[in-house]
Chain A
Amino acid sequence: MEINQLIHKSQKGDQNAFGKLVLMMGDYVFSVVFRLVNNELEAEDIAQNVFVKAWQNINKYNEAKGKFSTWLYTIATRIALDHLKTNHAQINLPNTIESDDDIEKDLDLKLLGELLNTATGHLSPQQKLVFVLRDLEEMDVDEVVQITGYSEKKIKDNLYVARKKVKEVLSKILKVG
């Protein structure tokens, strides 16, 4: 079934259709949230809240104003940012993430992932948000503008600082290593 049909059905109160949307979008929402909070359990909880919030406000979603995924990311980033603002001092390393690849490759990737998370953990919530959306989720600037509500200039400034900080942190860690 097409995503638009599922959205229309959900807007009419069809929970099954919304459940299918959760299956389709769950990973994407989790991914963004996880990148922002760096903790799998918290990310799953937040992602769950994102979908509950989305269900409560599904009638406010207007197809003409933008993509459903953008709307969903907007909710996700707001909730995750609120979470970050209240837990800013905490820099978490990620819990283990399942992978089907062989153990060695898996360990390398985990290490790299952890390094990246450690690096992004040094960013402010705004810098982190912009960095995750632009560089990790590879969204275009317009979409980031729509999701965050920031101006293009603010996005560019935050992204510049974020990239610089990540680079600095990573090179420090790698030198020490």
Chain B
Amino acid sequence: MNNWEEIKKQPRLRDVNRFQQNVLKAIEADEKNHSKMVWWRIAASVIVLLAVGSFTWLEFETYTLRTNILVLDNYSKKAPELDMQCQYQINDLIESLKKAGFIIDSRKNAIQFSRQDVEQLKDNNSEYISDIKQFLVVVKEIYPTKYEQFSAGEMVEFNAWHLQKDSRLCDWIR
């Protein structure tokens, strides 16, 4: 065999068995690393999803709140100014409704109740029952559709901000 052939055959691994062991170890380490990476990716995806979800929810809530405020603002612009006495009376009424446990969402100021709730308060001889009866008279006269729902045993909902600005309530509360 000439020198050229020898040179061409020259580069060989020093220890092919050790090389094999190193390759297998590297593969094992790589697979462990890969499975760790998979878990990290899952965790990162969950965090991103949660972040995006929270942001979307917050955006939606802000939108709802902003819409409510706009509606209220428009309503208050249209509604005539209420005198102080009337304002106090309406606030007292709403306060009684709150104390009776009818406010379901303090942020949106939503008052929600059903016939069953009122009957339960009657049974318990609640101190707020007279205020609630008065409110039901108002509802019957001013919001007949809601009163029909109430009579049918359905849940009815009012926005306390709207009630505070509705001058018609004053005539009936007095």
Interface residues of chain A, those whose CB is within 8 Å of chain B, are 15, 18-19, 22-23, 26-27, 30-31, 34-35, 40, 43-44, 47-49, 51-52, 55-56, 94, 97-99, 108-109, 112-113, 116, 136-138
Q: Is there contact, CB below 8 Å, between B23 and A30?
A: no
The residue in chain A whose Cβ has the minimal distance to the Cβ of B27 is A55
Residue of B7, B14, B20, B23 near A112 (CB, 8 A) is: B7
Residue of B3, B7, B23 near A48 (CB, 8 A) is: B23
Q: Is there contact, CB below 8 Å, between B30 and A52?
A: yes
In the complex, how many angstroms separate the beta carbon of B110 from the nearest chain A beta carbon?
Answer: 58
B3, B19, B23, B26: which has the most chain A beta carbons within 10 Å? B23
Q: Is there contact, CB below 8 Å, between B23 and A97?
A: no
B6 at the interface (CB under 8 A from A): yes
SS class, residues of chain B in contact with chain A: helix
Q: Given A15-B27, A52-B27, does the pair A23, B16 have CB atoms closer than 8 Å? A: yes
Interface residues of chain B, those whose CB is within 8 Å of chain A, are 3, 6-8, 10-14, 16-17, 19-20, 22-24, 26-27, 30
In the complex, how many angstroms separate the beta carbon of B93 from the nearest chain A beta carbon?
Answer: 73
Q: Using Cβ atoms and an 8 Å threshold, which residues of chain A touch B16?
A: 23, 26-27
Q: Is there contact, CB below 8 Å, between B20 and A98?
A: no
Q: Given A23-B17, A30-B13, A98-B14, does the pair A109, B7 have CB atoms closer than 8 Å? A: yes
Q: Is there contact, CB below 8 Å, between A23 and B20?
A: yes
List 27 A-B residue pairs with CB atoms under 8 Å apart, sorted by A's residue number.
Answer: A15-B27, A18-B24, A19-B23, A22-B19, A22-B20, A23-B17, A27-B16, A30-B11, A30-B12, A31-B12, A34-B11, A43-B11, A44-B13, A47-B19, A48-B19, A48-B26, A56-B30, A97-B10, A97-B12, A98-B14, A99-B10, A108-B3, A109-B6, A112-B3, A112-B6, A113-B10, A136-B8
Q: Is there contact, CB below 8 Å, between B3 and A51?
A: no
The residue in chain A whose Cβ has the minimal distance to the Cβ of B20 is A22
The residue in chain B whose Cβ has the minimal distance to the Cβ of A112 is B7
Given the complex of chains A and B, what is the CA–CA distance between A35 and B19 in angstroms? 18
Q: Using Cβ atoms and an 8 Å threshold, which residues of chain A touch B17?
A: 23
Q: Using Cβ atoms and an 8 Å threshold, which residues of chain B touch A97?
A: 10-12
